[in-house]
Copies of this chain bind each other. A is one copy, B any other.
């Protein structure tokens, strides 16, 4: 490129000069997301211990060093799959943060997103990550993130008891029961399940909200 051409290619606002850099970052993120998604599917289908980074590289049509470009090791890859799933639930908490609706309605929104996350490709890793003989450091990271979700649900239950939208109950036990019911979806859900995640969430919410006893 001549200096004249280079000058000509400078956009008037100057800002979009950095676009190629942004694009590279986006490209790297997209590729990293692809590595995580392919890994999540492989772990779910064949199990974590039966899946090697070689398998994942070969499915992505890249070399193993390319995979190492995005994650340090297989354990970190499992953690990223776990985090990708949990991220969807975290986002739900983010979205309701400034809502004016009562806590029961906000909890319902989180439950629905939770069901969507657990039926996604990341569902298996969300539930199984902690059972894979993780290193103590990684195990702590997994537990910390899970605890954040658990505390978020408990907090919503407590707010609901305070604002009158939720019956007085043991928030800790109710949070465990709700998260347990949702996590267990990963055990029975198959891609040919006739109900969508939203429909499963709707039925679960009916149980959690109305209970079994006729009104």
Q: Bound state CA distance, A148 and B197, in angstroms?
A: 25
Contact of A181 with B185 at beta-carbon distance under 8 Å, contacts A164-B214, A167-B215, A212-B104 already known:
no
Contact with B along A201-215 (1 / 0, CB 8 A): 001101111111111
Q: Is A85 an interface residue, CB under 8 A from the partner?
A: no
Q: List 6 A-B contacts (CB under 8 A).
A: A47-B133, A167-B210, A176-B181, A176-B184, A180-B180, A209-B212
Q: Are A212 and B177 in contact (CB under 8 A)?
A: no
Asked if A170 and B203 make an inter-chain contact with CB atoms under 8 angstroms apart, the answer reads: yes
List B contacts of A24 (CB < 8 A).
none
A positions within 8 Å CB-CB of B: 47, 49-50, 104, 107, 128, 130-131, 133, 157, 160, 164-167, 169-170, 173-174, 176-185, 187-188, 195, 200, 203-204, 206-215
| Copies of this subunit | 2
Bound: A49/B48 CA distance, A: 13
A16 to B50, CA, bound (A): 56
Chain B nearest Cβ from A195, distance in angstroms = 8
Distance of A204 Cα from B215 Cα, bound (Å): 19
**Apart from the given pairs A174-B212, A178-B181, A179-B184, 14 other A-B contacts in the complex at a CB distance below 8 Å:** A104-B213, A128-B131, A130-B187, A160-B212, A167-B214, A169-B212, A170-B203, A173-B207, A174-B207, A176-B181, A180-B185, A207-B211, A209-B213, A215-B215
A176: chain B residues within 8 A (beta carbon): 181, 184-185, 188
**Most chain B CB neighbours (cut-off 10 Å) among A131, A164, A180, A188:** A180
Do A187 and B180 form a contact, CB below 8 Å, given A104-B212, A208-B211, A211-B207? yes
A212 in contact with B170 given A178-B181, A184-B179, A184-B184 (CB within 8 Å) = no
Q: Tell me the complex Cα distance, A179–B207, Å.
A: 13
